[in-house]
Structure 1
Amino acid sequence: MSAPASLTPRLTLGRLALLSVLLLFAVFFLTPLYVMVATSLKGMDEIRTGTLLSLPLSPSLAAWATAWSSACTGTDCGGLKPFFMNSVLMVLPAVAISTLLGSLNGYVLSKWKFPGSEFLFALLLFGVFMPMQVVLLPMSQVLGWLGIASSVWGLIFVHVLAGIPSTTLFFRNYYVGLPDELIKAAMLDGANFWQIFWRIVLPLSTPILVVTLIWQFTNIWNDFLYGVVFSGADSKPITVGLNNLANTSSSVKEYNVDMAAAMIAALPTLFVYVVAGKYFVRGLTAGAVKG
């Protein structure tokens, strides 16, 4: 059955202009990604003789293999693999812990308010807007006192603390929209604080969980400042490794290897947004930024 004529979108002049503008913006933002991918698949001879936008004539993953396992990042020539693994070991627990703590904070600050809870939330909110550079020196001292300076555990600790304000904000604003009657009914049935959280509140938190997980994963994976300041020789994340690789001097600058390394560093976040991007938008519209 065909759709009614009134429901069939018509290609008006205004709609055509809008689509043209959107297409122009899409091309503008995707061109750097295309250049990176195309250059990473070319050999150096083809890069020298061709143009920046030309397609690779003989696509090869040799530059990717070099960037992963044998490219020089300063004095070490082991590629990006160890840096990538450091980021994985750092990101997964940091994202999980900061998200869990943020959900608990949001739950308490929205459904179990106490005297001074609004003031405490205001202090946490201040942490969202505080420049990262402000905490570098005191955080270095704290990591030294705890004995986890220049380690992956130290980076995890830093990113958990840095992420708590934003995760708390997300969950608190989302939980404000949940009916208080749910909590009261559960309390009348004898459920305690943790039972209400695990069995009622958390199962209703899927949209904001997705938003927070993607937000934290992206921020932590792409962070460079904390990685370069708080990491040691064996705990540097992928962003620091990419910077070292790009700035390592050699007799011949291998642009294809640099582009392949940049793509390797960007693949996890690209994958997350491609797979879960629509859920991120749904989570935002479900209440992540309201309250």
Structure 2
Amino acid sequence: MSARPAIELADLKSFVCVVETGSIAQAASRQGVAKSIISRRINRLECVLGATLLVRAPRGTSPTDIGREYYLQAAEGVAQLEQAQEAVGKAVGEVSGPIRVSIPLGIGETFFAPLLADFAKEHPKIQIDLCFEDRADVVAGGFDLAVQAGNLRDSSLITRKLTKVRTVIVASPDYLDMRGRPIDPVDLAEHDVVVDSNCTSQWTLIGTSGCEQVRVNTRLRTNNKHMLLAAARAGVGIVAIPHFMACSLIDSGEIEIVLPDYTHEEVGIHLLVPPSRVKIARVRALMDYLSGNLSVAV
């Protein structure tokens, strides 16, 4: 009885990459090879295992039930191999290798871009692939690390709270002159509100008498903070927005703070890391760097 051929490490890595990115084309781009090479590796792996691991369709590639189970073990194995390689690397020099990162656009441009630039300068052997998007699918996107704001969905990801963001409620003076200035949270129910689609339509406001919750009427919903700010400036309605994004327009008088005696619920900023990536030295280095340099409210 002949022995089963050994599994090629490149085939295993390509399979993991296809599952994480959702397509052979994306996996090829991420690994820097042609799509035909990725397809050949997947076919070879399936032949060795004697099982179909992936379902190929025009809209993307997804794992079969067997493929999903195999991926969970394979991803862990690939991560352990990377840890072993890094253990040798640390003995002879610096941490190295690629890191794929997702960060929300607003806080990413303002706070994280300078930090990541400094981190890249300090670690010249680490290659950072940075995507600015508000709510990435960490596993499907093949991210080693992601930053997300607000309430986190239940998941198996490792999370670490970095800081919190002060939120203010604002509107244009023209809108408030026409519709009136709220003096109590319940007055918000009579106004048009532009809502972040990543948050709920129930706002929590903190005043001298404690917390008050009010459900607002949604005039416009968007997942983009810059659109929220544009809507406030245009007089579409009242908006809850991170203070750092609104402060210059508040100072210039283009928008003004609504209900200044109340504080809007602060938004937590979190790191999310797949369990298989958290022990990899370059990922840990970036986690620790961001935690150490972004530990106060922004």
TM-score (norm 2): 0.24
Q: Which has the higher strand share?
A: 2
Q: Which has the higher helix share?
A: 1
**Greater RCO, CA 8 A, separation 6+:** 1
